Amino acid sequence: MSSFAPAAKRAKLAADLGSTGEFFPDIGNIQYNPDAGPTETMVYKHYNADEVINGKTMKEWLRYSVCFWHTFRGTGADPFGFPTLNRPWEDGTDSMENAKRRLRVAFEFFRKLGVPFWTFHDRDIAPEGATLEESNRNLDEITDLALELQQETGVKLLWGTCNLFAHPRYMNGASTNPDAHVLAFAAAQVKKGLEITKKLGGENFVFWGGREGFHTLLNTDIARELDHMAQFFKMVIAYKAKIGFGGQLLIEPKPKEPSKHQYDYDGQTVMSFLFKYGLEGDFKLNIEPNHTTLAGHCHEHDVVMASAHKLLGSVDSNTGSPDLGWDTDQFPMDVKNTTAIMKVVLEQDGLAPGGLNFDCKVRRESIDLVDMFISHIGAMDAFARGLRNAASLINEGHLSALVAARYSSFDSGLGAKIEAGTATLEECEEFIHQKGEPTIVSGRQEHCESIVNYYV
């Protein structure tokens, strides 16, 4: 939201749109039509939910989810411009009436798009009250409606989370705030967040530490802040067990923005934190590729890294513009990127209970309601193509055979002992005395890239 945005004007209410009882009366359920032409962007050309690939349906592999915040709370505002997205169901207030109407809009959207899951922040779906008690009452009331809408539509909650970054109380962080009073408020907010996520049958609960970091080291005690964050998470683990919430806890890495430096910088940083504090048995990672590229890595880097450590829990499926230094949250339309992500998902036999959550927003210039559908449809098709490509790449085995051959020296002899941790420096020295200088071998990078291009 722009810091200088004017107050929203009262929009025409949905009740004035007609007698159909729908917020998108001119849009039906999105259909699969593989014969559709290039300009037919309101159909799935590749996403066929019931198509079986490598033993599971597309729906099971992809586990698509729509995020509530960008899709239904986004205004198109940015630091340099006022809101551009005028949604006809919005009345310009932060009332419970408006929140309930917005939620009904969302579930119509989910149903017509045909996605199985949705995600939210607590403050996205219900207005924050003057006190914690009022905020919690609002959440109770709005989640009663959400539960009813879930039951009507069959759409499930992939994960819930708490907004611990927007309110001024969190300007210096939540779990890493130098004031214990603020940390306690964040803990109370998360307590309620866990409760409503359990109430709605959520399969995961996410932590994103947008303010968990610093802008200067001059006033920051890094060691204490990291210790406090770990203790915060241990309280979460204890309460999760107490209420019997069976969902997976997830941490979402990001290197910066809004903080100059965030403690959850990238996948490896988060995993190091988890292992240091003994939290790796309770948490996995929710990877957002736009955050990965902000950390200076390639699109799929953190997905691959988390999976290699058996800690990939879910993916916030978006992309960014690598030439920009901020989080643009664009829809993932690059099939080579989606192929790389789905190769990892297939190799680890799926993301469940996580999924592919579209943490994306339409561009502020894409102001038509139909753009909300087109953007999601295009991204879902891109991942469906990525799934097919990755399955072919894996099943035909050309790339995996090359990788296996590259590391074959560790399959027997001294290499096998090194891998098993039983070799010694003396044995390595003796091996060199016997074998002499090693023969250098080509890494064949361009050959690998050409193999991938064949499938994409």
Overall size of the chain counted in residues? 456
List the one residue out of 376, 206, 350, 389 whose CA is nearest residue 291. 206
Burial of 119 (0-12, 13-18, 19+ CB in 10 A): buried
> How many Cβ atoms from other residues are within 10 Å of residue 382's Cβ?
23
DSSP string spanning 385-454? HHHHHHHHHHHH-HHHHHHHHHTGGGSSHHHHHHHHT---HHHHHHHHHHH-SPPP----HHHHHHHHHH
Using alpha carbons only, give the angle 105, 103, 140 rounded to the nearest 5 degrees.
165
82 phi-psi bin (left φ>0, alpha ψ -120 to 50, beta other): beta
Is the CB of residue 82 less than 8 Å from the CB of residue 3? no
Is the CB of residue 357 less than 8 Å from the CB of residue 290? no
Q: How far apart are CA 162 and CA 99, in angstroms?
A: 17
Burial of 39 (0-12, 13-18, 19+ CB in 10 A): exposed
| Token duo for residue 172 | 């210096």
Burial of 383 (0-12, 13-18, 19+ CB in 10 A): buried
DSSP string spanning 392-408? HHHHH-HHHHHHHHHTG
| Token duo for residue 201 | 């049958």
| Token duo for residue 429 | 């020295």
Q: How far apart are CA 175 and CA 230, in angstroms?
A: 8
Q: Which of 46, 70, 121, 398 is catalytic?
A: 121
Residue 57 makes CB contacts below 8 A (sequence gap 6+) with: 49, 50, 51
Residue 362 makes CB contacts below 8 A (sequence gap 6+) with: 74, 76, 85, 331, 371, 372, 375
Q: How far apart are CA 295 and CA 118, in angstroms?
A: 27
Q: How far is CA 311 from the centre of its chain?
A: 14
Q: How far apart are CA 397 and CA 1, in angstroms?
A: 48
Residue 261 annotated in active site: no
Q: Which residues are catalytic?
A: 121
